[in-house]
Chain A
Amino acid sequence: MKSKVIAALILAVSLITADFCPVSAASENEKAITLRICNWEEYIDQGEWDEDEVIDLESGDIIGRNSMIEDFENWYYETYGTRVKVEYSTFGTNEDLYNMLTIGDVYDLVCPSEYMIMKLMADDMVQPLSDEFFDPEVETNYYVKGVSPYIKNIFETHDINGVTWDRCAAGYMWGITGFVYNPEAVSEEDASTWKLLENPAYRRQVTIKDNVRDAYFAAVGALKSDLLTSEEFKNRDDYKEALQAEMNDVSPETVDKAQHYLQQIKDNLYSFETDSGKSDMITGKVVANYQWSGDAVYAMDQAEEDDFCLNFAAPKECTNIYFDGWVMLKKGIAQDPAKQKAAEAFINFISRPDNVIRNMYYIGYSSVISGGDDGRVFEYLDWNYGADDDEDVTEYPVGYFFSGDPEDEDYVLTVPSQQLKRQLAAQYPSADVIRRASIMIYFDQAQSEIINRMWIRVRCFNILSVPVWAWIALLFVIAAGVIFYLRRKAAKESMYT
């Protein structure tokens, strides 16, 4: 009898699922490739712009009508004659993504930050890019033709276990960290140092990112402030390498110092924030916020809409330069050349200058694509930031990014002077800021454990600091509970006897 019920249930379930099976899609084109992409939330153009939101460059208008994903599916069919179905999902943090992958979720193409790319590479989970992807002769290889020489150099000179980043990862967006601040409350000088976090003048008015890596970087930057800003250190021949070594220092002494520092500033800060930082800046709850440049741009844009001015400053000691990049996963691609081709085509499609501009406009971060021979990215920058008829203008060279030569006169923007402290300074930092930018590498398991332990110590309440009166109060409560329980029990027992 039971088995009949179960059989009926199974039948019912199979009927329901059969209904939902996309039979029609499969029969239409049997070769349809499914591409499973996992990206950050709110990190790609979703389309549906208003008519007046068009970016009217001299070389032609750019507007996002469909979502980037839809455009890619159509473009792929037109270009290669094969249908691709993109299954697009999102993740919240690099750690979430890693956990999703270890639990068993399978994706073909993901977009984590540089340290997570390094971790995935070290775990041998990444499918290297094909040789064809790097062939600049191929018309549709927009990535390799357009990637900024500055970014290209970083990707080629950093490696994990002997494999350089560029073999496995294609950049997407990049940026630096710094402070968004309210110029009416905080002076530029105060905001231009990591020591802002410990500054008693802004007690309980500054927020910091709630993740161990960003917090650790800030703490090390503040602790080593004197060394990092000394002329002697800055003029070293191996300044870049020395800076990176100092900022990635996870020796027990430094971790210990950073822990004490963070414990101290915890009392001086408004809070550690996960996503309230931007809105708290805009509403004026806090006067400064340790922020990633893309989100800083967003905050400044939003504030401007409310006729409220926010500035951005990169700390004078050093700033953290970060990248998000596309990597293909071995488990998803599974040696399927058609799938790999589609994944690489996706990277190329979103690296096409007009799509780059759409994404940048939509999300506020800076793309790693400078455009190569295609001048539209620079044109967009000029469209976005160029001075119209302002009186106070400044020349702003961005050659380091576009041609690799900081002095290149072809890539100099003429911008309103205030932009040197605003969106432009966050989206395309000056060559001077870039000089003191350091990458934060991934820490191996032993190092991560030390750092995470430190973080728990910072965030947790230490039982040794519980005041005596609190212990007494707790004991009192427990004793009262026990007495109450025993008395009730005794009362009941006496009732039955």
Chain B
Amino acid sequence: MRFSRKTLGIPYAVFLLLFVVAPLLVLFFYAFTNGQGQFTLRNLTDFFTDPNTLGTLFYSFALALTTTALCLILAYPTAYILTTGRFKKNTVLIMIFIMPMWINFSLRITALKEILGLIEGNLAFYPFINSVIGMTYDFLPFMILPIYNTLAKMDGSLIEAAKDLGANDRYAFLRITLPLSVPGVISGISMVLLPAMTNYVVLDMLYNSTYIMGSLIGSYFSAYNWNGGSMIALILLGIICIINILNDDDKGETTRTGGALL
């Protein structure tokens, strides 16, 4: 009996088929049919003609963008500090940043709710800001880690070379470190932006009564409108695909560029 390497892939292939491909097919079927199972594009046109569903897309996007920007602003300096030589015990520091991820998510948001309540008094007055803070709190580690990884793997001699050639710290950072860390930044963005568009539990827990994409899908399902909900899920999937294609494209070339640089 020949045991090829392909055989090892069978369990995952079965998993993929059952839990990814099959549900996707069902999703496609529902999205392009009406309640009676006939083909229709109405679910698609309904989404793009209703100011409320489009508004939800806008709101989710605005929320996700703000969250991502805030995460980036907080994460980049942190990751940078962690990789510079002054912090020799950086494994401990990294642990401190990863530790929140080990604590249950809803527990963390509940704690955050109490803290925000102490600061703001009545949480209901700042639903958007609260949601952004909650999501940032939730997703920050996903932004720090990829940036930290790219910065940590970066060849330090490049900066030394730049300095030998007369660049000051600022110039070396702008021309060497920053461009080389872009892949980490991009993968951080894609790990934060997309979940932030649908993570409605944060909004629910922080008393934001406006729907985002996730809650909109949920509301379609609880109104037994599987078709409309599936279409929205599919549209989200489309957006994710577009962003990922751009991202992958970029990543592949960066590694090559990196090689060329070295």
Contact = CB atoms under 8 A, between A and B. Distances in A.
Interface stretch (A95-103, A239-247, A346-354): A95-103
A5 B211 contact: no
Nearest to B260: A495
A204 B55 contact: no
B52 A456 contact: yes
A270 interface: yes
A270 B124 contact: yes
Contacts of B205: 276
B95 to A, nearest CB: 33
Interface in A480-497: 485, 488-489, 492, 495-496
Interface string A230-271: 000000000000000000000000000000000000100111
Given A2-B7, A5-B10, A448-B223, A457 B52 contact: yes
A102 B226 CA distance: 11
Interface in A197-224: 204-205, 210, 212
B219 interface: yes
Interface size class of A (residues with CB under 8 A): 35 or more
B260 A99 contact: no
A274 interface: yes
A273 B216 CA distance: 16
A465 interface: yes
B223 A452 contact: yes
A204 B120 CA distance: 13
Contacts of B219: 452, 455-456, 459
Contacts of A489: 253
B76 to A, nearest CB: 16
B225 A452 contact: yes
Contact of B122 (A102, A205, A274, A470): A205
Interface stretch (B59-67, B138-146, B161-169): B59-67
Contacts of B84: none
Interface in A34-66: none
Nearest to A470: B62
A285 interface: yes
Nearest to B182: A488
Contact of A269 (B65, B117, B209, B223): B209
Nearest to A451: B223
B207 interface: yes
Given A463-B55, A495-B260, A274 B1 contact: no
A96 B250 CA distance: 43
B210 to A, nearest CB: 5
Interface in B199-224: 204-205, 207-211, 215-216, 219, 221-224
A475 interface: no
What 3 A-B pairs come out closest when comparing CB atoms? Answer: A463-B55, A271-B207, A460-B52
Interface of B: 1-4, 7, 10, 51-59, 61-62, 65, 117, 122-125, 127, 182, 204-205, 207-211, 215-216, 219, 221-225, 246, 250, 253-254, 256-257, 260
Given A460-B211, A463-B58, 7 more contacts: A1-B2, A204-B124, A456-B219, A459-B209, A460-B56, A463-B52, A488-B182
18 contacts: A1-B2, A2-B7, A6-B10, A95-B222, A99-B222, A204-B122, A269-B124, A269-B209, A271-B124, A271-B209, A276-B207, A457-B52, A460-B53, A460-B56, A462-B55, A463-B55, A474-B62, A492-B253
